[in-house]
Chain A
Amino acid sequence: MVVGILVVLMLMVVAAIPVAAILGILSFGLDSVYFGGRLTPAIGEFVWDKSKEFILVAVPMFILLGEIMLRAGIAQRMYNAVAQWLVWLPGGLMHANIGSCAIFAASSGSSVATAATVGTVAYPQIERRAYNERLFLGSLAAGGTLGILIPPSINLILYGLLTDSSVPELYLAGIIPGAILSALFMAAIVAACLWRREWGGARIETNWRDRIRTLPDLVPPILLFVVVVGSIYAGLATPTEAASVGVCFALLLSAWTGTLKLSMLREAFEGTMRTTAMIMLIILAAVFLNFVLGFIGVTQAMINFMAELGLTPLEFMILLVVFYLILGMFMETLSMMLTTVPVIFPIVVQMGFDPVWFGVMITVLMETALITPPIGVNLYVVHGIRARGGKFNDVAYGSLPFVVSMLVMVALLIAYEDLALYLPTLVYR
């Protein structure tokens, strides 16, 4: 029975059926097989209750916040300011790529938007300063993935919803690994450029006067981060409230930069609602499937199955990492998380892992999925911004060093749980 369901599921996935339809029809199918269709009539009330949940309102708010920030015209100036501070490192502007992405990630929840915006600003520098094109493109693709780890992250909200984990704890847990991963990306660049000096491009002269002069350009994104994450941390606001305050802050900021126009707002609304609808259609179907699976007892069966295998927690986690690395090569990341977490999470907890820690872990694995070929959204995006064209493989090869950085991060997280848990423990436990 289970095998038959899995086969149909795989067929639908391979046939590029919309993920929401797959999950929805799967839950109807399971319901009619196991319960004679008794659960399906409840879908109306069930979806209504979930749709109006206040914690979920944070999702469109963070998307709207990112959309407005994207259009407030801060990317170019921010990139230049970050560059002033980081170009002395071997690899020059590639560090600015990572740094700008990290800061941009703190205001935007979309890795596609992050990679596309910073990428467009940075791309002309490859030719101008004779950088190694592959590594430069790789740094953009990898930097963009930071968006889902560094708070405010939409993915962490969805993980929190699926697993009943606290979103504020997840946000705090993402901060240190986000910083370490950025540092690991930079270390990869430094290592590559020490090995092959010509990859690092022409030197850029800078001085302390310019560094100080451009500093104000970094204030808006950092202030936004402090307002949003700080208010959650200080217990002033829930994530949804903090996101709403962030939206108002972004609105004031765009008024200040002179970009606040009716046409701009319309563009932002279209982008926000498009992404929100895309995510919610899947989420609500996934939550309903979760509900049906709960009645069937699939999770208990999975737990028993794993217990029979007799794996140690470490062996289990390594197996899981390999599973996600392979799955991530072929699957779009959001649907990967939404379809696997409901089944895998209970086993993870049963094995004694911390739910918040696993949220960070799976997010890093999703970042890897974003830059591993053949299906890696960020690779496509960075390839798409190349005005002079080129081979897709350039971006894929250039991202390899950063995949290594991510694997190091995974290993660090397994070895030192506290990298993720230190801040949440300090504040909440």
Chain B
Amino acid sequence: MLEGIYRAFGWISRRAVWVGGAALLAAAIMVTLDVLSRKFLNVTMSGADEVSGYVFAASTTWAYSYCLLNRANIRIDALYNFLPRWACAVLDTVAVSLLLLYNGVLAYRAWGAFSESWDRDSVSITTLATPQWIPQLAWASGLIFFEVVLLFVFLYSMIGLLRGDLDLVRRVAGVPSVAEEIEAETHGMNLQTGAREG
């Protein structure tokens, strides 16, 4: 049941990352067309920069949960690596709880920013005059989804801790090994590395 929910979050956040990446690629193409038309046709399309900013903001918050589920958050593991496994598991759970706290405040205030724009019908002071609630909704909802996933990962690793299942804690909240790190940076490239074989 819990494992099923964990997998479901993984499934959703992976799709969110695909959509976010595709949107960024589209933004790159749009900005490029803008640059080319400005240079060669002497025509300036306005708004490419503004829209790509929105795409960036929203795709980033929606990628946070993917980052979390892949344990890619930067942590200073100078001491961590020398600790016994149970201590690592405790620190892993504390780490998630503090991230939960920080993002909780951020997500709450982000939602506040959205509802204020909604109430006041705020628009951007540009030629596009974008109603701010649209990009802000996409952005804030990513933070809220991240908070939900954080809460789940916290509870899941807490359960692992109480049951003494240290492998579970490591798998959902631990610091990845070097082999996992390299795999993450180069995945899909089939590099023949010792890390993979070993």
Which of A's residues lie within 8 Å of B, judged by CB? 12-22, 24-25, 28, 40-45, 47-48, 51-54, 56-57, 60-61, 64, 70-71, 110, 112-113, 116-117, 120, 231, 236-237, 240-241, 243-245, 247-248, 251, 263-278, 280-282, 285, 330-332, 334-335, 374-375, 380-381, 383-389
Contact = CB atoms under 8 A, between A and B. Distances in A.
B16 to A, nearest CB: 8
B20 A57 contact: no
B63 A381 contact: no
A375 B63 CA distance: 27
Contacts of A248: 28-29, 32
Contacts of B185: 110, 112-113, 116, 271, 381
28 contacts: A15-B94, A17-B75, A17-B91, A17-B94, A24-B106, A48-B113, A48-B136, A52-B53, A54-B53, A64-B25, A70-B189, A112-B185, A116-B182, A116-B186, A120-B191, A231-B35, A236-B39, A241-B34, A244-B29, A244-B31, A247-B32, A264-B188, A270-B66, A278-B72, A278-B73, A381-B182, A384-B178, A385-B182
B38 to A, nearest CB: 9
A13 B76 contact: yes
Interface stretch (B1-9, B95-103, B157-165): B95-103
Nearest to B95: A17
Contacts of B108: 44
Interface residue SS majority, chain A = helix
Interface residues of B, number: 78
B80 A64 contact: no
Given A270-B14, A285-B102, A384 B195 contact: yes
Nearest to A281: B64
B47 to A, nearest CB: 11
B86 to A, nearest CB: 14
A217 to B, nearest CB: 18
Contacts of A113: 185-186
B1 to A, nearest CB: 27
